[in-house]
Amino acid sequence: MDAIQVGNDEAKIGTELLKEVANAFKAIDEGVSFTRESMTNLTDRTNTINESVQQVYKMIEKVEETSQMSAANSEEVAASTDEQAASVEEITSTIHNLESMMKQLRDSVNRFQV
């Protein structure tokens, strides 16, 4: 009977070890599931961040485009202002010439008056 008892005891020990191994595998499986879920959440958050970065990049491109257009418009305004200033100078010069001619004409008319 001793051999049967020893066999039964060893079977119980084996059964307990099997339960411990099964529990260890269950804990490992739960850990893997938790890790998988965490990785999925991290991937989702990373994708969201990536989308946000892309939106910011597009906004920066629009700001840059607007800045370039503003700079080009400013250059056009400056060129136009320079042209207007040159025109004003030319008109001023023409006015001075006309005034001079008018004075000469007056002087000439005054010489012929009796």
Q: Give domain status of residue 87, yes or no.
A: no
Question: Token pair of 49, please?
Answer: 């961040």
CA-closest candidate to residue 25, choices 17, 11, 36: 17
Question: Token pair of 13, please?
Answer: 């020990």
Alpha carbon 79 to its chain centroid, in Å, reads 32
pTM of the model: 0.53
Quote the pLDDT of residue 11.
86
Q: Give domain status of residue 97, yes or no.
A: no
Q: Give domain status of residue 29, yes or no.
A: yes
Q: Give domain status of residue 89, yes or no.
A: no
- Domain count for the chain: 1
Question: Token pair of 94, please?
Answer: 């023409």
Q: Give domain status of residue 32, yes or no.
A: yes
Q: Give domain status of residue 110, yes or no.
A: no
Q: Give domain status of residue 105, yes or no.
A: no
1 pLDDT band, cuts 50/70/90, is low
Q: Give domain status of residue 73, yes or no.
A: yes
Phi first, then psi, for residue 113 (nearest 5°) are -80, 140
Question: Token pair of 1, please?
Answer: 């009977």
- Give 34-68 pLDDT, tens digit per residue: 999 999 999 999 999 999 999 999 999 999 999 99
Domain that holds residue 54: 1-82
Quote the pLDDT of residue 14.
86
